[in-house]
Structure formats: C-alpha cells, structure tokens
Amino acid sequence: MSAVISVTEVRNALRCPRVFALGRKLGRPVAFPVGASALGATFHRIVESFARSVSAPPASWTGLGAHAESDKVAHTLRCWVLDHLVRELQSHPHLGTMPAEVDDLAEALRSFAGFVAGQLASFDTNPAAALQSLFRAAELELRASVPISESESVSVGGRIDAILEHARGNLDAVEYKLTDEANAELDAAQVTLYRYLVRQQLGLDAQPTVLRFDPKLTVTRIQPEEADELAHSRLLPLVARMVAWARGEEPAPATTRKDLCAVCPVRVACAAEYRESLPARDDPPAGAVRSRPEPDGSLGPDAASGTADVAGTSTREEDLAEVKALERKLQQVIRSVGVPASLVGAPAVGPTLVTFQISAGRGSVQHLDREARDLEHKLVTNHGVGATYEKRGGVRMLTMVRAKPREVRLPALMHRESAFLKERPGRLVLGETTTGTVLTVDLGAPTSCHLLVGGMTGSGKSVLLRAMVISLAHYHAPSAIQFTLVDPKRVSFAPLVSSIGSHLANPLCYECEDAVRILEGLVDEMEERYRTFAGMQVQDIDDYNDSMPGAELCRRVVVIDEFQDLVLSKALRPSFEEAVQRLGAKARAAGIHLILATQRPDAKTVQPGIKANIPGKIALKVQSPVNSRIILSEGGAEALLGRGDMLADLGQGVVRAQAPLA
C-alpha cells in the first residue's frame, strides 16, 4: 500500500470504511459530494493568498500605527481580503454566473477579516507586525509516524489550513469550513488529527479549532483533554484498521450511515466487491421518489396513491368560488367601457390563471380590441387583478391571475398520468396547463427528444429540472433509465441524490471539464449502440429492447444546469458544441437524451448549432422579449409570473403551464 495515509482518507473512513478500502483498491482518491460547499475551494485559495501576502502588505496596512483605532484596522483588513476576492473573480470569470454563492463567499471573507482583526487587538505591536506573528503557518504540509503495532508504524499526512499564534504564545490548529454543522463531528475529528500531527512533527501543542463560515463565523475550540482522548481512543486505532483494510487482511465493514450509499461515488464497485445486501444501497431510501420493489422484483404501488387529486383540479369548491368572483369583476369592467360583449363557454381554470372567452356582437370586435388595454388597466387598478388580453384568430380571450394560486404537486400529476409514464422509460411530467390538464413529454418523440430550458433567477428553473428527473425515474428501475446530472453551481441537484442515487450513471458532476468528457463518452456510446442495432437489424432502442428481453439497454438522460459555463469557456466550447450537435442530431433512436438549461438565454449562450439540434423548448420567466425569442422563436416569456410559470413548445405549438413542486 501507499506509504502515506491522508487525513482526508481518515475522514472518509469515519464515514464509510469501504469507501477508503475501495479507493485504495482502485488507485484513486475518492470523495463524497455530501456536505460540499460550492465555493469552498475558492475561499481556501483566497485565504491562503492573503496569508502568504502578510509579509508584503499594501501601503494602507503598513501605515497603521500601534495605536490605530480598531474600526480602522478592521476596515483596512476587510478591504485587503476583498481585494484578493476581486483578483479571484477576474481570474475565474465563470464565478460571475453564481452571484448568490459569490455574495455568501464575500460575507464569509468579511467574517474572516473580522475574526483576524479581533485577534490582532490583543497584540501590543503595530498591526503589520502583529499580523505576521499571528499567521505562524498557512496551508502547511504535515506528516508524522503513527504506530499501528509494537513493531510497525505508518505515515499519516495532510495539509492544515493554518496555525495561528496568539499574543500570549498559545497556538491554534485551524481548519476553515464553509458547510453547516451537519459534519461537525467529522470536522472535529479532522482538526484533532491535525493537532496530533503538529505535535509529532513540530513539537508544538496547538488547540484544535474549527472556524465555520456559514457565512457568519462560528468558532469551535476543542479542549486539549477531549482532543487527546478522541485521538487515542478512536482515530489512531482507526488508522491501524485502515492499514489492514487496504492490505486485504480483513474486510472493511459497511457504513452505519444510511444516507451515504445513494450518493457514494464508488457504489458500483462496492456492490461488486461486497455482495451482501445493504438496504441503504440496494433499495431506495424511505423518502425516495421510486417505489420500493416488491419481493418478486416488481415495482410496488404508486407512491402517490392516497394523496393524489385523482378527480382533477378544476372542480374544487375554492376554485369555483374564485372563478365566480373573477367572472363578476370582468363583467363589471366590460360594462364600464361600454362594449356590447359577454362571456361565453366555461372558463379554463388552471393553478395560477383563469382564461375567459369573450364574445362581441357584429361590428363590436374592433371596439373590444381598442378597449383591451383599458380593460387590463381597470382590472388592475379597480380590482387588483393582473390580466392579459389575447387574440386567437377570431376568438378573444382574457387571462386573469388568481389571487390565491393553487399549489401544483408532482405526486398528484404523476398519479393522473401513471399509465402514460409507466408504458416506457423516457416519459415525464412537465406541469399543469392553464386548462387543468397535465403537460407531459416523451423523450422518445422526435419533437421533444432533447429539451432546452431557459429562465432567469427566481423563475423556478431548478425546481422544474428536479421535477423532470423525479418523474422520469419514479416508475422505472435503474436498469431502465440512468441520469448524468451536471451542476456547476453545486446547488441544483444535491437534494435529489439521496432519492435517485441508484439511477445515477455518475456521481454529481460539478466541473465543466468532466462534463465535456462525459458528453464525448456518450457520443462513443451512441455510435456503439447504432452498430449493435445494425447487427440486430433493428431501428431504435425500443425495437432492440423488445427483441432482447432480459438484456435491455437503459435510456441515458443528461441534465446540465447552467450550460453557459461550457459555452463561455474558449477551451471547452468547441468540444461541447460538437458533442451537443452530434447527440442532438442522432442520439434519440439510441436512447440518449439531453436537457440543457441556462439562466442566460442570450445569443452568446444559445448558439444556432445548439438551438437547431434541441427540438423541445421550455421558457420560464426571462428578462426581455429578445431572451424569449431565443428560446421559443417568439416573445411572451418576459411577461410570465415566475416561480414555475412557463411556456413550452414541444412540437404542437406553445402551451402555457405551471411547473410542479416535488
């Protein structure tokens, strides 16, 4: 085995011994996505850059005297730290696509500067000298020998974030964390192990300290006696067992944490290596979106049963009462503008909108059209009701916004369309239309085999993407459909992992370079499938699966949130566009599908080659008519309500719908 066990490996082994053992067997580092921060690595780079610059500070800092006011010291320190953030943003333009995360990062850095300023207040020297004394070490490589038996030892190494020396000479062994307290126990173990290494290598006694920025600072100091007990009773014996697991002298035990198997990056290798059944690995978790299998292997009853609104959505008493009230307001406004018109037919009732059809007498239609803006204005000013007047051929429609929108729930929609969804993999629920019907998509259809989704921040794009994935997975086993989820923001798909982990072909993908490699691999898989189809003389994946019971191919669905990161990278853009064009042009019959989403549907992001090869278009609320036309080839999405209100063109014309909550 390798001569050094890393502190990160020890942390992983505390979560799951088998992850460590398999990582050693596979010869590559393994890390859990659970508890990761979107910009944790960026924070560490900035703080390291700052710590290394304390020996050559800016003039604004060196000019501070020994008796400088504490507020001025803190302000100058904040500006200095944030200058490093500015340089990081300039060096990594893709960070500009994550404004909320960057705001949290800036707040964490302000908290860091405030903490440092507070420590400097106890020094008698000027702030420049005190700062150099405080940062005794930053990003320090440590390695020490740990005895695992009377005759043998092993090296344990890692990189501690900082060693701080206070005015009285006492030391802190410091780890910076940008995650919440869910991993506090692991964090304490990690920094305790670093304390042990500091003592062994440097002969220094440092107190284990976790600085957690969430983004406000929480300081956790572990008492030396508690740290020594943890190290000698748990961590050092664990290191000895890790050596035995890595050598194969004894099998690594399963994790006691039932939430980890679904997100494990080596679960496939684990299932092959450790063949005994692990419920958390082989079955979906209790809250999973997929029905738990019955003993005979078939999927169980619908999870939505008993909770779905089977009877429909437009017959509820509260819906009827609100529709009557809106009808009275509309009739009152029509009379007030002096147009001889009336409402005809039953209104179309949706979760957020009610649409009325208006009939005007001969010669009065033009009068009604002229008064349309006045109708809309009076409904808003006199009744507080948003409304939109439309002409559809010879028909005049007025759509009114409901004061109390009805919540649309995904389980109810899936229950209503269960027969359609169960028939074959690749079918999904998109939302509920303005008429109360369920809007569905079949990825096997030529007009909707790939989907382009655009919507600004707050439009409900991430919620919609999660609902699409859930409805694709709900009625079908992992052998029938597999997902690759690409999430550069690191926040869109994390809530799904525990529910659909067994349906993931890869761990969550965060890096753009990895996404391009995955797409290129799918191009190769597509070509291989077509060679197989040719040999079998079948046309597509459905024909192949019908002719090969027991050896069916799964459908592969790639969902990329914020694909503009891939387009804006000069190095990655050519490969990404080529892969999208090839998959978009011919991957449907092979059972490989793309869902590409962006919060910036502009001409730079949605290139003609991408738009032309993605037939299905979905627009949530966007900033301008230009953005709407880029997605749908027509305006209208700029006037949507947000929070899941959408326009979709799936080959049968543009339809308005409300995205569901999972």
Domain extent listing, the chain? 35-247, 317-401, 410-658
Picking from 38-42, 342-346, 455-459, 536-540, which range would have the lowest pLDDT averaged per residue?
A: 38-42
Mean pLDDT over residues 582-611, rounded? 92
Q: How confident is the model at residue 39 (pLDDT cuts 50, 70, 90)?
A: confident
Mean pLDDT over residues 154-172, rounded? 94
Nearest-angstrom CA–CA distance, 324 and 329:
9
| pLDDT over 80 at 249, yes or no | yes
According to DSSP, residue 232 is labeled I
Contact between residue 415 and residue 471 where contact means Cβ atoms under 8 Å apart: no
pLDDT value at residue 259? 61
Nearest-angstrom CA–CA distance, 484 and 506:
6
pLDDT value at residue 32? 61
pLDDT value at residue 23? 86
**Topology of the domain covering 35-247:** Lambda Exonuclease; Chain A (3.90.320)
Contact between residue 170 and residue 207 where contact means Cβ atoms under 8 Å apart: yes
Mean pLDDT over residues 228-249, rounded? 91
Q: How many CB atoms within 10 Å of residue 200? A: 15
The edge-to-edge listing of strands for the beta sheet with 387-392 is 341-349, 353-360, 395-401, 387-392
| pLDDT over 70 at 296, yes or no | no
Q: Which CATH superfamily is domain 410-658 in?
A: P-loop containing nucleotide triphosphate hydrolases (3.40.50.300)
Nearest-angstrom CA–CA distance, 469 and 645:
18
Mean pLDDT over residues 286-296, rounded? 41
Q: How many CB atoms within 10 Å of residue 107? A: 15
- Between the CA atoms of 61, 63, 69 and 72, what dihedral angle is there, to the nearest 10 degrees? -40
Residue 280 vs residues 15, 254, 283, 464: alpha-carbon distances, Å: 14, 10, 6, 27
CA 477 to chain centre: 23
* Bridge partners, 220 (sequence order): 210
Contacts of 199 (CB under 8 A, 6+ apart): 205, 206
Question: Residue with structure tokens 């496939």?
Answer: 268
**Residue, of 633 and 359, whose pLDDT is higher:** 633
Q: How many CB atoms within 10 Å of residue 451? A: 25
Nearest-angstrom CA–CA distance, 210 and 217:
10
Nearest-angstrom CA–CA distance, 452 and 462:
13
Within a 13 Å sphere around the CA of 172, how many CA atoms are in the beta-carbon half? 22
With a pLDDT cut of 90, the percent of the chain lying above it is 50
Mean pLDDT over residues 49-74, rounded? 87
The pLDDT tens digits of the residues spanning 569-586 come to 888 989 999 999 999 999
Picking from 13-17, 24-28, 440-444, 477-481, which range would have the lowest pLDDT averaged per residue?
A: 24-28
CA 71 to chain centre: 39
Picking from 101-115, 196-210, 230-244, 494-508, which range would have the lowest pLDDT averaged per residue?
A: 494-508
| pLDDT over 90 at 94, yes or no | no
Nearest-angstrom CA–CA distance, 275 and 273:
6
| pLDDT over 50 at 20, yes or no | yes
In sign, the C-alpha dihedral spanning 505, 508, 509, 515 is positive
- Is 317-401 assigned to CATH 3.40.50.300? no
In sign, the C-alpha dihedral spanning 191, 194, 196, 199 is negative
Picking from 82-96, 593-607, 615-629, which range would have the lowest pLDDT averaged per residue?
A: 82-96
Contacts of 537 (CB under 8 A, 6+ apart): none
Contact between residue 389 and residue 372 where contact means Cβ atoms under 8 Å apart: yes
Q: How confident is the model at residue 652 (pLDDT cuts 50, 70, 90)?
A: confident
| pLDDT over 60 at 141, yes or no | yes
Global pTM reads: 0.55
Mean pLDDT over residues 158-177, rounded? 94
pLDDT value at residue 31? 64
Mean pLDDT over residues 525-544, rounded? 93
Q: How confident is the model at residue 96 (pLDDT cuts 50, 70, 90)?
A: confident
Nearest-angstrom CA–CA distance, 37 and 244:
32
According to DSSP, residue 293 is labeled B
For 491, the token pair is 């926040």
| pLDDT over 70 at 298, yes or no | no
Strand stretches in 495-600, DSSP E = 555-561, 592-598
Phi, psi (rounded to 5 degrees) for 172:
-120, 130
Q: How many CB atoms within 10 Å of residue 321? A: 10
Contact between residue 303 and residue 518 where contact means Cβ atoms under 8 Å apart: no
User: Whose CA is closest to 554, among 565, 545, 562?
Assistant: 545
Average pLDDT, the chain: 86
In the three-class reduction of DSSP (H, G, I as helix; E, B as strand; rest coil), residue 606 is classed as coil
Within a 13 Å sphere around the CA of 305, how many CA atoms are in the beta-carbon half? 8
Q: How confident is the model at residue 311 (pLDDT cuts 50, 70, 90)?
A: very low
| pLDDT over 80 at 376, yes or no | yes
| pLDDT over 60 at 310, yes or no | no
Q: SS3 sequence, 52-75? A: HCCCCCCHHHHCCCCCCCHHHHHH
| pLDDT over 90 at 4, yes or no | no
CA 144 to chain centre: 38
pLDDT value at residue 302? 41
Contact between residue 143 and residue 4 where contact means Cβ atoms under 8 Å apart: yes
Contact between residue 567 and residue 573 where contact means Cβ atoms under 8 Å apart: yes
For 135, the token pair is 């940062």
pLDDT value at residue 420? 95
Q: How confident is the model at residue 240 (pLDDT cuts 50, 70, 90)?
A: very high
